[in-house]
A and B are shown apart, each in its own frame.
Chain A
Amino acid sequence: MKPDFDSIVAEHSGLINKVCYMYAEDSHHLQDLRQEVLTNIWEGLGSYKGDSKLSTWIYRVAINTCVSYIRRYGSRPDSYSLDTVPPGELGSATQGEMTTDAMLAEMYSMISRLSRIDKAVVLLWLDQYSYDDIASLVGITKANVAVRLHRAKQRLANSEI
């Protein structure tokens, strides 16, 4: 039975939002990516056979959409940089909203400087995926996953303010 689209989006909106935010350059780009991910989930839902967890499948669609999105136009005048996204946009925790928003924004800011594939690797690693799963989702070898993570950690450590 085809899973219900609305309930899937409602349940996984945090995940989708997280991936899109990682790849977006500004608010318009973020909205475009969210729209594109949602549309690709809608179009691809018929082909989901349940051979992996639904959250893993949605992660795959979201990452694949974001890494392959080619932007035709630059920032528009009414868009804002994601360094100044208002609280609540990132899905902040209920306690100490300003503090957790600031921490999350800092994390996103650091990781957003990585390449498309490196972002995907780091994002999946942060979400506790195994090296095997990361390699399969991203399409690189397990050794490459380890190398990329090591390089990303070094770069993030060196870019500390």
Chain B
Amino acid sequence: MTDFEDMKSKWQALSNAQPSDNIWKGLDAHKKSHLYKLRRTFILLTILSAVCCVVVPANMLGLGMPLWIVIVTCVYFGACMMGNLKLKFASEDVDIASSSAADVMARVERIMRWRMYMKWILLPVAIAIIGMILYYVSSDPGAVTGGVTGGVIGFAIGYRIDQRIKRQLRSIARDLESA
């Protein structure tokens, strides 16, 4: 097919025919959309961070851990809470049903990028805090090693997923630059 105009004239006839019914089997309209699930995740993480901001440092003080670690932990959970709250509000601004494609793309790209930056800044801090807690409460070096190793492996798996997401975000950003 060499002619673009020829393609257009054939397009209607070719593409508006109904697909076979079996394509629609197994699709469930009552599932929640990806955006809805994302919003729900941000709300849950905000609440969890707020609770941990108080509960975890209180327990650490009770265990007699150094004050500076307690403060770092409190600040960490506070940052998690504020970050997830910001993402929750940002995701509520995405309106698939009435916005333009470029607007939706830009908002989703921003949310996913913030989320990635948050993970990459806060995750290493979390691993360090967990390592310190394990050091202070555990008399078993094996438990400390296991905990930190598990954290590092989880970090590596998340890194692979995020690299894929990052490639898509770069392609979206390039597309939006010329919009």
Question: Which residues does A use to contact B, with CB under 8 Å?
Answer: 5, 9, 13-15, 17-18, 31, 34-36, 38-44, 47-48, 57, 60-61, 63-65, 67-74, 88-94, 100, 103-104, 106-107, 110, 115-118, 120, 125-128, 136-140, 144, 153, 156-157, 160
Are the C-beta atoms of B164 and A17 separated by less than 8 Å?
no
What B residues does A60 contact at CB under 8 A?
97-98, 101
What B residues does A104 contact at CB under 8 A?
14-15
**Is residue B171 within 8 Å, beta carbon to beta carbon, of the partner chain?**
yes
What B residues does A67 contact at CB under 8 A?
101, 104-105, 172
What B residues does A69 contact at CB under 8 A?
34
**Is residue B2 within 8 Å, beta carbon to beta carbon, of the partner chain?**
yes
How many contacts A-B (CB < 8 Å)?
A: 171
Chain B binding surface, main DSSP class: helix
In the complex where A47-B98, A70-B169, A106-B1 touch, is A39 in contact with B14 (Cβ < 8 A)? no
Question: Which residues does B use to contact A, with CB under 8 Å?
Answer: 1-2, 4, 7-8, 10-20, 23-24, 26-36, 94, 96-105, 107-108, 112, 161, 164-165, 168-169, 171-172, 174-176, 178-179
What A residues does B27 contact at CB under 8 A?
31, 34-35, 38
Chain A binding surface, main DSSP class: helix
What A residues does B108 contact at CB under 8 A?
68, 70
Are the C-beta atoms of B19 and A93 separated by less than 8 Å?
no
List 16 A–B pairs whose Cβ atoms lie within 8 Å, in order of A's numbering: A14-B19, A17-B23, A38-B28, A41-B29, A43-B97, A61-B96, A68-B108, A90-B15, A91-B19, A94-B17, A107-B14, A117-B102, A117-B179, A120-B101, A138-B100, A160-B1
The complex places the Cα of A145 from the Cα of B166 at a distance, in Å, of 27
Are the C-beta atoms of A117 and B105 separated by less than 8 Å?
yes
